[in-house]
Amino acid sequence: MRRIARLFRSPGKKLVPFFTAGFPQLESTLPLVLAAEKAGAQMVEIGMPFSDPLADGPVIQRTSQTALANGVTIPWILDTVAQIRKRSQLPITLMGYINPLLKMGLETFLARAQASGVDGLIIPDLPPEQGAEFYQQARKLGISTIYLVAPNTPDARIQHLSREAEDLLYAVSILGVTGSTLSARQGLARYLDRVRAASEVPFVVGFGLTTPEDIHQVAARADGVVVGSALLARIEKSSDPVQETTQFLRSLAAALAQEKRPAGQDKRNA
């Protein structure tokens, strides 16, 4: 069983921090991921910096530019994942855009991702219909394919994407980019309940979650939460990113621990 599927069949809500690879320094990624695991994260999402990140807000765009200036490349990211894998069995998902992968070669990328220990992929600008062959090959290699749904995604589409994803769905909490505020969301509870009813696999929620109160609110209706911009903004301002990450994620993990509702059931195995 793929590592992500196994994780989301276990009890409890999952905390998933997002790190931009190679930010704030090239050597930062490994210790930040290890610190996140110690602070209570059950999975990590690592962003592959790209010059035109369509789904990302100003914080992640800024951190991506810094990472690119630091010299981050796709091969470097995969090498870093391999280094993390030597010290941790934490599920690792890479999030990025298709152009850098095309430049590397899709078959080469997938083969190296598998060898490095990558567990999942989120490619926002490659819908499952256009990337069918790529995603099928990823799943054959044991890599979970995670698709995004949004508040305007119809129920039938949510169900279809959950079937295609097989292990996990990612519910974007807002119509906007990462880092948008909670006040931008309307009808969030109704939307997440709709995802719960339509999805055949567990789902995490991301975009715009910044406080323990946000985490508690969303976790009541989801199987996990993704925190990116709020964490990166703290790292950006800190003189000790590892300590800042540890303290912030511990506070979020404590908020999640208060949520006693069991994780969502994988309906296909009910």
> Which positions are catalytic?
45, 56
Residue 251 burial by Cβ neighbours in a 10 Å radius (0-12, 13-18, 19+): middle
Nearest-angstrom CA–CA distance, 99 and 97: 6
Placement of tokens 């989801």 in the chain: 222
